Amino acid sequence: MGVTAAPGRTDLMDRIARHLVEKRPGQRLRVGVDGVCGVGKTTFAGELATAVEALGRPAIHVDSDGFHHLRERRYRQGRESARGYYDDAYDLDSLVERVLLPLGPGGSGEFAERVHDLPSDAVITDETALAPPGAVVLFGATFIQRDDTRAHWDEVIYLDADESVAMQRGVARDSRQLGGAEQARAAYDNRYMAACRIYLAEQDPQARASILVDHTDPQDPILRRLGE
């Protein structure tokens, strides 16, 4: 049996979904879900895609795990480097060239579902799909409002939460992968959350996002701003 979302979360998803469904009818809509590590971006994007589809508009959730750089690039500044994670974790150039531009005005609609396989560190060149006219395409990842990427989003949702709350979630989620809770907390302190601090200081993504959600309590999120 699936888990039923709390009323507050369901209501918020419905309100944002209705806002997106009414935007640029008949045209593809590129929606980024932004926020620090551990805040809940991937889950939010997936649930929002379901809410959009329930209102009759096609929705596509593109997984950010398919848009990393190769391992050599990701760790070229050191495995614990915060600046290295900020600069080199995600292949935002490929995201723009192979997803956001094809889905934008005048684009073909054919986009890359992924360009990289994280477990094997393999480059992927042949996994593409065609987004139907009017599709809402959602992509959730940190750093998506950097200067060279920001202009290619039609809407950006920023999930805001206190750093300690997001870190606690991230550590709980990644403890097994990172070798235990202590190692995971150290990784977040030194690399992941530290990179997010660089992003917040350099780009002010919360202020730039068109939609702002207080995601401190994922079951009872609060809509702080809802674009135009």
Cβ-Cβ contacts under 8 Å for 88 (sequence gap 6 or more): 69, 73, 74, 75, 76, 77
Confidence of residue 227 (pLDDT cuts 50, 70, 90): confident
List pLDDT tens digits, range 64-112.
999 999 999 999 999 999 999 999 999 999 999 999 999 999 999 999 9
Let me know if residue 143 belongs to a domain.
yes
Let me know if residue 223 belongs to a domain.
no
Give the residue numbers spanning the domain of 139. Answer: 7-211
**Dihedral sign, CA of 20, 24, 28, 32?**
negative
Question: What's the number of domains the chain is made of?
Answer: 1
pLDDT at 5: 61
Let me know if residue 226 belongs to a domain.
no
Residue carrying structure tokens 């590590």: 37
Element holding 214 (H helix, E strand): strand 211-214
Mean pLDDT of the 42-63 span: 97
Distance between CA 209 and CA 39 in Å, rounded?
16
Let me know if residue 222 belongs to a domain.
no
CATH no. for residue 21?
3.40.50.300
Let me know if residue 1 belongs to a domain.
no
Q: Is 4 exposed, middle or buried (0-12, 13-18, 19+ CB in 10 A)?
A: exposed
For residue 2, the tally of other CB atoms under 10 A from its CB is: 4
Let me know if residue 65 belongs to a domain.
yes
Distance between CA 55 and CA 15 in Å, rounded?
11
List pLDDT tens digits, range 135-149.
999 999 999 999 999
Let me know if residue 216 belongs to a domain.
no
Element holding 7 (H helix, E strand): helix 7-21
Let me know if residue 195 belongs to a domain.
yes
pTM summary value: 0.94
List pLDDT tens digits, range 160-181.
999 999 999 999 998 988 999 9
Confidence of residue 1 (pLDDT cuts 50, 70, 90): very low
